[in-house]
Structure 1
């Protein structure tokens, strides 16, 4: 057994990885410099303060992304210590607050919300007792900033987090601020508010961890269980695995250190997952673990079910926000307008909103840019026998009648002719339709969900869309973000599509090589989810092994390959035709059917693009 831990400390301080040795009594005997950096015992000191404790009259500034889920398990009741006594604040709420410690006479300033899944930053600004204060939780970047008179105190976080700055009530100087590793220093919001002393942040004084019990320093059941398993002799070696050390994700391997008397301790080798460039060999596992960790932590808005809108893959903040808005829309009969680029899934979202509301009622989908202008009125509202040349003698009901009692989905509503917009407005206002050729009113009870990839406000300004109709359908707007703006969802989405397509075509399950995955992650996805599905489907078709390689990922970056929108559209059309033929194994009749094209149009396009097979 090595006794000279001082020498070993000097040697391990030269290593790039974090090294920790825990003896058989679960006490820390070695903790090298990089382990201290990774766990936050030492950190870049951009400011300092003396040791001390909170006192009556001190000004407390705090931000907590999820009350009760942060490292110190702050409770709504604890907020009364700074005079925030609001019975509506609950566990898991996000709060920003400023108050005076132990003084019930000075009113606090605060704001809170249910959950923390907004796309926008959550910000509180105030001039409080002469101090200019700004608190900001950057949800997407996972950073919290507290600024006092222009000086900034910032922290990054992975899951739930609480950040605090204290201004000395007597001198007006910064008395305390949190920094990376505050959990090891026992400096959570709750602990400090309840009178625990805090360390100074000068260049010398850092918590001494040598001799401390490992479970007094680290939270994380999986980590502590694994250490116990090694020390008890059950597992002499645990290869690289992902662990949380005080809610920071690390890659860690463990090895038993033995002598003739048996296991004397466990050596931990830790690496910071945030330094992804050093962990390329574990790229896929890292993405999976981060996604799993993020999914488990994502709070659910209100009473929304975890399974609601599960077909919309993604747990990024923008997707959680989207699902929440869709869920709220499904609980009313308000008209909904869904905006977003082509391929983002507007028709899928419309159907899911309808099914969440009343799955048994009719859902009628109308593609407005696929109807000839002269047929719009008869298609939407139906006609009576003999109304025009070619009309059925028995007449025919239109889409609105067929949707009675349910939902009509008007896709690409921005393409409606102005004369039809007038009649649609009348229907929405009066809940009555007239078949073409009839003066008999037909009452209808239909909820309208519309969708467009156009900017309707610009269309209104340019006179191509009626303003009164825009206001009528824009009761509950929902925007689906493009795939390039939610790339954190890509890994989960790729795997879901991969499994779905393999199952649909009865292929053995396939996996992406690291290079193939890189190619998909780097691409900007102008065609969004629809393009992603087509590319993966083609790759699966071409792949004859269980692994998909980058050569089988056929991505054409039209932004570089084509110089005009028309050329890009031509390239896209050619690609869809070729892919359809590949999926149909060269069977043109099947490809034609899959694309929903008539024979004449299909062969005309084959000729146009010089596709022989």
Structure 2
């Protein structure tokens, strides 16, 4: 702790070396007592020991001059109007009282009784001692400041030159302190401040050492409005500059690696798991359109991960607002408008007194995901179309229009084109929603991803259930790969959870696979048996292999012909023969 005079109390420094005499004592005897104890003052008390006055050497010299009777009681000569203080005031207050009243001492009293004395020499000695102590501490602080510090007086003589100044400029304090700064550094920025008395902040300069870079700030020093000198702080930024360059280089490398990783990795696009060609192609399209404002229609069977795709697109788009998913099949017809656009307080019976913000307002600057868009009623289709065209909404019961900036991603497992033909879905809304169409492949067309998904769900579900990841028999994998998965990824996840919960001794075996899966796989295997007619069997094999090659090549016939190791013309001929 630094000892600041304001915090020092009288009780901690007061002198207890004082003389008290009764007011009836003879003046002469009192004087002798003072001289005997080598004191400059004596305090007068009454019979109850309460302080009544004091007598100092100054008072005595005045009495001698007047040649008064020395055998009279001291009460005739003492100063009666005395100023006293209590033990709990601070020393700085005592000093101010003494200066103001031109007195050299202050009696310290408690219940009118003298308990100590504060004299001017005590204050002087105390402040001098603290000045020395403070000077040492200040010197220590300045030498431990990270920057180089230089202080000059108004004539330009150096008064402070800390250790970091010595290190940065290679000039010792003993050589420069007390001498003019310009004799060592004729172009120093601090000299400009001395000249114009204006501060200079964060100026870059190169000192005589060529291996350093320095930023300087310099300020004039005014005390009570009088200019007394200037101070500068010089920061060595050489290492910072090197680190900044390395960081910039690392950031550039990181950005490049991130962009490359996004190009070649499908797993980084949200939580989409899989590496089948159809899936990767869909991800590439989604990634390409994600950072645009285009509306996207996601088509796919139930359980193919349409919402997962929509979330991934939103995250990749880096839109500032929220991702707000809405299941259109779960909202009652009469509540669509208030859910989509919100309502004002008291807009209808049962409405909240505070009103309610709607889905589109909530998703401002973000994304609204309209799942099961085919179940949107016709009257809401017209209102949704208007919102998409005008980019503004009006709350139910409200008069004010609210501008919105929302990206709409919709999804369905139904055939919207057929619904348009049956007048169950508006064609103008369809074209507004279907700027970009993404078709998610069902799991049966992603057979290579089944094992990847099994592994992912095993880890995820075991972690959620606090279980150790079990072993899984190869026969179980074969069965799961041969099943059609009409419920797609959702059905697969539920099945894996079923197997984790029912497995014994931490091994997943065939006997715990649900019966409906085993039955369908048996029927499929039976169906896949080849006829005894060799020509028919060969034809069946050719059809299957051609279809598989086309699936692997993503429909590219040239690639498929290469995979099959046959001429392209032969592939076209066989596709025509087999009506593929």
Would you say same fold, with TM above 0.5?
no
Comparing both structures, which one devotes a greater share of its residues to helix? Answer: 2
| TM range, smaller chain | 0.3 to 0.5
Higher relative contact order (CA 8 A, sep 6+): 1
- Structure showing greater Rg: 2
> If the length of structure 1 is used for normalisation, what is the TM-score?
0.41
